[in-house]
Chain A
Amino acid sequence: MKRVVPFCLFLVALLSSGVAMAQEEVVAEAAAVVSEEAEAGFSINAVDTIWVLLAAMLVFFMQPGFALVEAGMTRTKNTANILMKNFLDFSAGSVLYWICGFSIMFGAGAFLGWDGFGIGGVENPCPNLPKEGYFIFQTVFCATAATIVSGAMAERTKFSMYILYSVLISAFIYPIQGHWSWGGGWLSELGFHDFAGSAVVHSCGGFIALAGAIVLGPRLGKYTKLSDGKIRSNAIPGHSLALAALGVWILWMGWFGFNPGSTVAATGAVDPDCYGGGILDNMTAMSHIFVTTNVAAAVGAIVALIYTWVVFGKPSLSMMCNGILAGLVGITAGCDCVPIWAAAVIGAIASMVMCFCVRFFDVRLHIDDPVGAVSVHGMAGFTGTILTGVFAFPECGYSVGTQLIGELAIAGWSFGCGLIVFLLIKHIFGLRVDARIEEEGLDVYEHGESAYN
């Protein structure tokens, strides 16, 4: 479906925007787009709108999912702080994405778009929906990318600096690379396919998280220098696996909006080469995506379970939770265009990659990632994007090469921007809290509140 976006922009005359501020004009896109590729059902209609808004609600519901996972996997003394960070990045993201993010992401241009401040000047990328409906759908995706980073930077980041980062990701870092894939930019012209955002959302968030974790440094007490020079990694257990597990269930459910919602349509026929595999209409596409999403998550869970059972001797809940998420992230790029058996394989491989990476980043590279955000989102997203090229139905025409280019571009951009932003913050304002504050807990010192009384 995302291939149609550049197609629309070619068909409809672009109004170059001067200054479209203040008043948001909701342009009623009533005219049907006549398409040469027989993509019917493109006139604005209520069923599509209901579906997309419902999906946006489900994706919004992923925010509490992330919040609970992060709260459950960190300590009680920092719980209020991590929850604040999660509320904040959604709130700041919603506002910044409205002010300029949407315009950058869906405006005209190859590298980045721009159609003025606000959403008024942007041409509606999806004529079958009201522009604001599509806008809110994209907003919750942006917020998902933003909230991934709080997990890797938990328990030691200054709250004020986190606000600054949230503004920058929602206003610039995410929309610019999102434009390349979904807004008609150069990656979509290359034929890069990332249906619901393994790369655009999850790799973006995951690699910014990596930059943040590296620049911040590990939590106090995470690594001990032993007398023989080796560095031992200490476990810092989360305070509530129950909250974390609930968070994962919520995320799994929310993903049923994240992936299938990206059809941005429920009615109408589609080009047989769009989704491939004999899928001829949006209803079938949506249903297929539900199935691939679920299968990937389930297989991801099982593989992580087996991995911990074999390697550590006991099946571990915390790793299984991460395995579910890794499977979900991995299938997100290709959920529309791979057969069900391939979804299982992608879920399995993404989960294995995540299991290895969690230990690799922690024990080998000594990068402290409290919830495993880098492995679950960054590395599993990387894997899923590449595997889409391997397993997609042949008639769609996706290639591993293009997927690799796209993924490297997005990961490189995200990591690079993240490094620059965090290094600048570190040297100008200081990114990390004082040792004393970190030891006693951020809740009391940063917010004057404790989560548990």
Chain B
Amino acid sequence: MKKIEAIIRKTKFEDVKEALLAADIEWFSYYDVRGVGKTRQARIYRGIAYDTSCIERTLVSVIVRDKNAEKTVSAILGAAQTGEVGDGRIFVIPIEDAVRIRTGERGDIALYNAEQEK
């Protein structure tokens, strides 16, 4: 199984969510992150200008079975792209094991609902 981590624009989150759901990826987490990068945004506070070197983004984190990894990456890539600098990154990380807390099942079976699988 693989973990797909995508750092995307905050404004693109809804599009990415729709794309993932359309690709039958139904469980994922997301959180707000700040990052440091090349983008600079000028701000003024009570007359003093400062540059924020921190950039706000959303990090979407999905754990999928190996067979679904590629389609997840494509879904996120297609939805999060704007073509401008600052679109973000997608990372693929191998996962050793997964456990469903409610039942204690381990392995791939913990990632999907067997009865609802086509």
Co-complex (A, B): yes
Q: What residues of chain A have their CB less than 8 Å away from a CB belonging to chain B? A: 221, 439-440, 444, 447-450
Chain B residues with CB under 8 Å of A448's CB are 42-44, 49
**Of B10, B11, B41, B45, which contacts A444 at CB under 8 A?**
B41
A450-B43 in contact (CB<8A):
yes
**Of B10, B14, B43, which contacts A449 at CB under 8 A?**
B43
Which residues of chain B from 6 to 44 have any CB-CB distance to chain A below 8 Å in the complex?
Answer: 10-11, 14, 41-44
Chain A residues with CB under 8 Å of B41's CB are 444
Chain A residues with CB under 8 Å of B49's CB are 448
Inter-chain pairs besides A449-B44, A449-B45, 13 sampled, C-beta below 8 Å: A221-B14, A439-B11, A440-B10, A440-B11, A444-B41, A444-B43, A447-B44, A448-B42, A448-B43, A448-B44, A448-B49, A449-B43, A450-B43
In the complex, 15 of the A-B residue pairs with CB atoms within 8 angstroms, ordered by the A residue number, are A221-B14, A439-B11, A440-B10, A440-B11, A444-B41, A444-B43, A447-B44, A448-B42, A448-B43, A448-B44, A448-B49, A449-B43, A449-B44, A449-B45, A450-B43
Chain A residues with CB under 8 Å of B11's CB are 439-440
Give bound CA distance, A221 to B18, whole Å: 13
Give bound CA distance, A402 to B24, whole Å: 63
Which residues of chain B from 52 to 99 have any CB-CB distance to chain A below 8 Å in the complex?
Answer: none
Closest 6 CB pairs of A and B: A439-B11, A448-B44, A448-B43, A448-B42, A449-B44, A449-B43
Closest to B11 in A: A439
Name the distance in Å between B19's Cβ and chain A's nearest Cβ: 15
Give bound CA distance, A444 to B42, whole Å: 8
Name the distance in Å between A81's Cβ and chain B's nearest Cβ: 14
Give bound CA distance, A449 to B42, whole Å: 9
Chain A residues with CB under 8 Å of B10's CB are 440
Give bound CA distance, A276 to B20, whole Å: 67
Give bound CA distance, A221 to B10, whole Å: 14
Among B14, B43, B45, B49, max chain A CB count under 10 A is at B43
Chain B residues with CB under 8 Å of A440's CB are 10-11
Closest to A447 in B: B44
Name the distance in Å between B42's Cβ and chain A's nearest Cβ: 6
Give bound CA distance, A141 to B99, whole Å: 64
Give bound CA distance, A15 to B117, whole Å: 88
